[in-house]
Chains A and B, each alone.
Chain A
């Protein structure tokens, strides 16, 4: 099953390498991994999307917890949660028809056009992975020049917070 695991890490050099190294050393899958600093400069927040059997996921969370730099961990998939991804797409937009078509799709999906040249549009789209995928599907007939995805950022629903 697909899981979204959120971590608070000590903001130390090497902390990311420890997490990434753990996944390769033990043969766990990483679908995506994002990391950045938080409001507390001593902490970094990481969201990992992984998949595996329940036993594998249990090992993944235990092994992550065992890393000295991991301060807190939550498997967001265990409760209500929100996941958002950001995608930047550069598409070929040469003719007026093509440009209209792309603008229409961007409107429908509530994306934005953030850069324009005489032959390309660069689009921004945020949303759940499903929505981002659906948008890419909708662009199937368009020539994709470049696709950049952030991977998922996750947060739990409700008042509860992953904080120290």
Chain B
């Protein structure tokens, strides 16, 4: 046991012993002892961002792509408040993260000291847990607990706040191999009787649907899930957060459900008699109006968080535990019972589902004069052969990415689904690219979102991160404009992006390559060229149709059976739309 290490060195040793590869951060007074300790460390690589929000999103992107907790280091006060958006983003999507924050010296806490903020207080509502370390001998144990809590059970961000004096005091260092907490013992294994009851419902179903969410991705349940879907051969859909767990090409997969999901997915949810929910939390963007949600179904819900079960809708068979463990057990029990499935009725059900599929709800009107954003995403899919890690920001581009990039694997689609944080895409892409330097990482963004964490282009240069930024530039906050068109009589209040920068020059001034694409026939070539530059960040500014809307759509407060389609599919409706 190394004797008498400084608190700061203990922190860095903990990171090393925890196997942390990268730490994303930004220095400042209260964190300087820890930064000094990092100076001597080569096991843990520090990535210097340009804004603490970027650090949190980068760590988050790293965590989403790898499944390992992302680590952040910031100073007290403004360092902490700048990370809040990133912490809340990770919290809403249950992403494992450990955020180490410097704090003013213990003796000054509560005195409104320079750069003091009540970190434990301001982060409390958006963390899984947080700690304030008041004793240098408690650092190692607390760090172990932080990593354990962040990455077990339903994952989430954990903040560890360390006053500056604690990082200069000394103590013996010993990193615990394991930690036991009497107050925290998340349940992993599912109750096998509940699983059997779930199977009873599933094999007896006539109009079944499988609905998977982010929990399936977080628990790496893809193999068990594919096994289940292939055994049952039931229509299957996924939330925005679950995309990729079931490969898009799986014949039983209906695409995404929810506000901008496919018609067949939403109708299957509406008309089903048995629903199996796997790691999905019945979020309002998925369910639409709860009063009209899946009126005739019995629900089997698998989730590691008991509070996610029965929160918004009544559940017939709750199964608490890790999605993967439960699906493995479910598959085992199911093997003997597949014969009980009512194939005749399920086939009839498939016929109905196929008729909904035939509507082709994601189709859009092609153009050879203006660039359709959906077309860009489809070309991007082709050029990257569907193998890219795709991060996104928030808005129309995010929905088009989710609809048109066919994800074959989990952890490839990285977006802020829960909090809906503009500014997430670029820093998240940095985290992913660091984790997978050889892979293709694309950030699909919009002209408004990209400006929210733009400064990270500088970080990308410093660390040679050859992210490809695909800016679907419609000169609008497109999603806001769409709502104003639909629900506010086309009063486009403050959604026009005036005074946009020249993104090409901007990228160049950051030392990257910028490209501007203005005609549909130039898209494919430009993408080929950009992705050919494997070691450069390329910023593709693609000028897209300003009037395009995301379809289909369930307006807020409507039910799954009340989807709205693109104008040409609606009769008697004005098709000419002009922008103010």
Contact = CB atoms under 8 A, between A and B. Distances in A.
Interface of A: 9-10, 13-14, 17-18, 21, 25, 55, 58-59, 62-63, 65-66, 68-71, 164
A21 B184 CA distance: 19
A133 to B, nearest CB: 34
B15 to A, nearest CB: 21
B97 to A, nearest CB: 15
Interface in B121-135: 121, 124-125, 128-130, 132
A62 B181 contact: no
Contacts of B130: 14
Given A10-B183, A14-B120, A164-B182, A68 B306 contact: no
Contacts of A59: 307, 311
Interface in B295-330: 305-307, 310-311
Given A68-B184, A71-B183, A164-B182, A17 B121 contact: yes
Contact of B183 (A14, A25, A58, A69): A69
Contacts of A164: 182
Given A10-B183, A17-B124, A71-B183, A66 B132 contact: no
A10 B149 CA distance: 16
Nearest to A25: B125
B306 A65 contact: yes
6 contacts: A21-B125, A66-B305, A68-B128, A68-B129, A68-B183, A68-B184
Nearest to B306: A62
A14 B307 contact: no
Contact of B307 (A9, A17, A66, A71): A66
Q: Which 3 A-B pairs have the closest CB atoms?
A: A62-B307, A71-B183, A68-B129
Contact of A13 (B132, B183, B305): B132
Contacts of A58: 310
Contacts of B182: 71, 164
Contacts of A62: 306-307
Contacts of A21: 124-125
Contacts of B311: 59
B184 A14 contact: no
Contacts of A69: 183
Interface of B: 120-121, 124-125, 128-130, 132, 149, 181-184, 305-307, 310-311
Nearest to B149: A68
A70 B184 CA distance: 8
A9 B184 CA distance: 11
A129 B181 CA distance: 36
Contacts of B129: 68
Given A17-B121, A59-B307, A68-B183, 11 more contacts: A9-B183, A14-B120, A14-B124, A14-B130, A18-B124, A25-B125, A62-B306, A62-B307, A65-B306, A68-B129, A68-B184
Nearest to A14: B120
Contacts of B124: 14, 17-18, 21
Contacts, number: 36
A69 B149 CA distance: 12
Contact of A68 (B120, B121, B181, B310): B181
A115 to B, nearest CB: 35
B343 to A, nearest CB: 37
A59 B130 CA distance: 22
Nearest to A60: B307
B148 to A, nearest CB: 10
A66 B181 CA distance: 13
Nearest to A69: B183
Nearest to A71: B183
> Considering residues A18, A55, A58, A66, which has the most beta carbons from chain B within 10 angstroms of its beta carbon?
A66
B443 to A, nearest CB: 32
A66 B149 CA distance: 12
Contacts of A66: 305-307
A154 B466 CA distance: 61
A133 B287 CA distance: 45
Contacts of A55: 310
Contacts of B310: 55, 58
Contacts of B121: 17
A129 B306 CA distance: 32
A71 B184 CA distance: 7
> Considering residues A55, A62, A164, which has the most beta carbons from chain B within 10 angstroms of its beta carbon?
A62
Given A25-B125, A69-B183, A164-B182, A14 B132 contact: yes
A71 B136 CA distance: 25
Contacts of A9: 183
A9 to B, nearest CB: 8
Contacts of B184: 68
Nearest to A12: B131
Contacts of B305: 66
B284 to A, nearest CB: 15
A13 B110 CA distance: 14
Nearest to A58: B310
Contacts of A70: 183
A108 B183 CA distance: 45
A59 B306 CA distance: 9
Nearest to A10: B183
A59 B312 CA distance: 10
A28 to B, nearest CB: 13
Nearest to A64: B307
Contacts of A17: 121, 124
A58 B318 CA distance: 14
A164 B307 CA distance: 23
Contacts of A65: 306-307
B202 to A, nearest CB: 25
A61 to B, nearest CB: 9
Contacts of A14: 120, 124, 130, 132
Nearest to B184: A68
Contacts of A10: 183
A50 to B, nearest CB: 16
A121 B74 CA distance: 57
A26 B183 CA distance: 22
Contacts of A25: 125
